[in-house]
Structure 1
Amino acid sequence: MQIFEGSAVAIVTPMNQDGSVNFDQLNELVAWHLTEGTDAIVACGTTGEAATLTTKEQGQVIEAVVKKVNGQVPVIAGAGSNNTAHAIELASQAEQAGVDGLLVVTPYYNKTSAAGLILHYQAIAHAVKLPIILYSVASRTGMNITPAQVKELAQIENIVGIKEASGNLSQVAEIAALVPDFVIYSGNDDQVVPVMALGGKGVISTAANVVPKAMHDLTAAMLNGDWATARTLQLDLLPLIHALFKEVNPIPVKEAVALLGKLEANYRLPLTQPTAETIEELHNELLSYGLEV
């Protein structure tokens, strides 16, 4: 089962100055992505500042995205937690909202054992009928999903893919070899071409918040076997991608979307405004890439 192929944006969550969610700007962002060719939308992921949203707010954001998309592309909801019961609550809430799939990160902070990781995902998968994409990003969570664990989890019917953000291409290759039918998505914007060259079906992207058409075109080129075009797009994007991760995500990308005039760069603590140096670099790289700021 494949939820989507191509470029899925891990969409930012616009906020007002008081920290409340700005649903008008969220709707405008979703509409823009639909016109720019984004292939799927991930709501309430890391880039969407889900860690600072309440469970109720996450439900409201997901419902708003589902309503605005209106079936035009798949909507995937972030539903990860270091508390399995809370992850099930988030997953069930998203299922009721009508999403097409779930993105479920490994437990973080308290983490777990190898056996606990399997049981965590089993419990979530058995609580819902939706297809689930695993999310492996040890740089944030302190927990890697090993290829052997992916193989074991792939035996669960509704665990269908993985967002692989380890940065380890050898690990991606091993997953592809061990579980040939398992869907792999790049979790790193600078590794889309190599991950898709190993059989990946696309990317769950931070950069797509700023360059949705370019990310769509990059993944489409790879899916169509036009590796030369994809390689050019990937390398042309590198300076901008580096600027988008100059500070902890999603601080720079939200500022970049604001520089494009599509939202106000408001954050909830502990996230805060980027430095003047970061803003200048973002401004310069957006201009260099040919965007209007």
Structure 2
Amino acid sequence: MEFGRLITAMVTPFDAQGRIDWEATGRLIDYLIEDQESDSLVLSGTTGESPTLSDEEKLALFRFSVERAAGRCKIIAGTGSNNTSHSIHLTQEAEACGVDGILLVAPYYNRPSQEGLYRHFRAIAESTGLPILLYNVPGRTGVNISAETTLRLAELPNVVATKDCAPLEQITAIAAAAPEHFRVYSGDDSATLPVLTVGGYGIVSVASHLIGSKMKRLIEAHLSGNAAEAAKLHQECYPVFKGLFECPHPVPNPVAVKYALGLKGIPVGGVRLPLVEPTEAEAAFISKLL
């Protein structure tokens, strides 16, 4: 399965009552494919506010997105949790919806050992025929999938990639020793170019909601050996990479990107509690950033 170089972790549009806005969701999918050149979309990831989506909403979102994308890009379903049996159930339901792949976040809060992480991911992988992308984000989950555990999981036939937010040293170790079929994606927009230079394959991005086409050019410049152009594009993108998460101080994702999309004429509504709308100062910063 080819998920491409630029994967967008898509926000979930809500209406004024906080329900999924299906019309806005359809427009957003079209925009991300046609205008921002996304190769794949992750639905119900952290950026999609997965903690506040019910299973019924997630499955409806998967079905809708598969139908709307209509083969123009791949649809990856976020089905991971800190409950292995629940993740297996949701993964199998997502597979029945016709998605192309599964994103599995490391179990959060209960902080399993490396052996526990391995067995968790192996059990889910064995329950489905779909390709699996691991998601290592220690800053959110409180646990790090080590390079050794990632490489061990990479030996499973349908574990095909990792979206990794670990330090560059760990990502380098994974990229250096991974099987040929296994791909390493940066999970941090600002690390896109550094990860590519140490053997990474692409990016699972938030900023691609706004500057996806420029990020695509950045990746293409790197692949063509034009280091100077890649560095120039990285520097141009960097204020957006950082600004969406620090506006002007740390703000939880996807508060900033949802507000920014509204400013760009792509309304996706607000966020669900416990997230809240940007403050006046944050809104002014995002407006200036664009």
Q: Which runs of 4+ in 1 moved over 4 A?
A: none
Cα offset for 1:242? 1.6
Whether the 8 Å CA contact 2:215–2:237 is kept in 1: the answer is no
Q: Which deviates the most, 78-87 or 255-264?
A: 255-264
Distance in 1 (alpha carbons) for counterparts of 2:176 and 2:241: 29
Cα offset for 1:29? 0.6
Which of 244, 265, 274 matches 1:261? Answer: 265
Cα offset for 1:79? 1.1
Cα offset for 1:3? 3.0
Cα offset for 1:224? 2.9
Show the counterpart of 1:281.
285
Whether the 8 Å CA contact 2:176–2:199 is kept in 1: the answer is no
Show the counterpart of 1:290.
none
- Aligned partner of residue 134 in structure 2, secondary structure: strand
**1:32 alignment partner AA:** Y
Distance in 2 (alpha carbons) for counterparts of 1:226 and 1:45: 33
Show the counterpart of 1:245.
245
Show the counterpart of 1:3.
2
Task: Spell out the pairing of 1:8-47 with structure 2 (5 A cutoff).
Answer: 8-36=7-35, 37-47=37-47
Task: Spell out the pairing of 1:176-215 with structure 2 (5 A cutoff).
Answer: 176-181=175-180, 182-215=182-215
Distance in 2 (alpha carbons) for counterparts of 1:188 and 1:40: 16
- Aligned partner of residue 211 in structure 1, secondary structure: helix
Distance in 2 (alpha carbons) for counterparts of 1:121 and 1:14: 29
Show the counterpart of 1:289.
none
Task: Spell out the pairing of 1:68-147 with structure 2 (5 A cutoff).
Answer: 68-147=68-147
Q: Which deviates the most, 225-234 or 183-192?
A: 225-234
Query: What CA deviation, in whole Å up to 9, does each residue of 1:84-140 have, x standing for no partner?
Result: 111112211211111111110000011212211111001100000000010000000
Cα offset for 1:5? 2.3
Distance in 2 (alpha carbons) for counterparts of 1:25 and 1:109: 33
- Aligned partner of residue 46 in structure 2, secondary structure: coil
Whether the 8 Å CA contact 1:240–1:282 is kept in 2: the answer is no
CA RMSD of aligned residues (A): 1.2
Question: Number of aligned pairs?
Answer: 284
Cα offset for 1:215? 1.9
Question: TM-score of the superposition, structure 2-length normalised?
Answer: 0.95
Cα offset for 1:226? 2.6
- Aligned partner of residue 128 in structure 1, secondary structure: coil
Which of 269, 276, 285 matches 1:272? Answer: 276
Show the counterpart of 2:155.
155
Whether the 8 Å CA contact 1:39–1:216 is kept in 2: the answer is no
- Aligned partner of residue 112 in structure 2, secondary structure: coil
Distance in 2 (alpha carbons) for counterparts of 1:221 and 1:5: 15
- Aligned partner of residue 76 in structure 1, secondary structure: strand
Query: What CA deviation, in whole Å up to 9, does each residue of 1:228-250 have, x standing for no partner?
Result: 22211111111122210020111
**Runs of 5+ consecutive residues of structure 1 not aligned to the other structure:** 287-293
**Runs of 5+ consecutive residues of structure 2 not aligned to the other structure:** none
**2:278 alignment partner AA:** P
Distance in 2 (alpha carbons) for counterparts of 1:187 and 1:67: 26
**1:283 alignment partner AA:** S
- Aligned partner of residue 94 in structure 2, secondary structure: helix
Whether the 8 Å CA contact 1:3–1:100 is kept in 2: the answer is no
**1:162 alignment partner AA:** T
**Residues 223 and 98 of structure 1: is their aligned pair in 2 closer, same or farther, counting only changes over 3 Å?**
farther
Cα offset for 1:63? 1.1
**2:23 alignment partner AA:** D
Distance in 1 (alpha carbons) for counterparts of 2:74 and 2:225: 24
Show the counterpart of 1:57.
57
Distance in 1 (alpha carbons) for counterparts of 2:153 and 2:140: 21
Distance in 1 (alpha carbons) for counterparts of 2:93 and 2:227: 40
Distance in 1 (alpha carbons) for counterparts of 2:68 and 2:44: 15
Q: Identity of counterpart residues, as a percentage?
A: 38
- Aligned partner of residue 190 in structure 1, secondary structure: helix
Whether the 8 Å CA contact 1:9–1:40 is kept in 2: the answer is yes
Distance in 2 (alpha carbons) for counterparts of 1:90 and 1:3: 23
**2:270 alignment partner AA:** N
Q: Which deviates the most, 67-76 or 131-140?
A: 67-76
Question: TM-score of the superposition, structure 1-length normalised?
Answer: 0.94
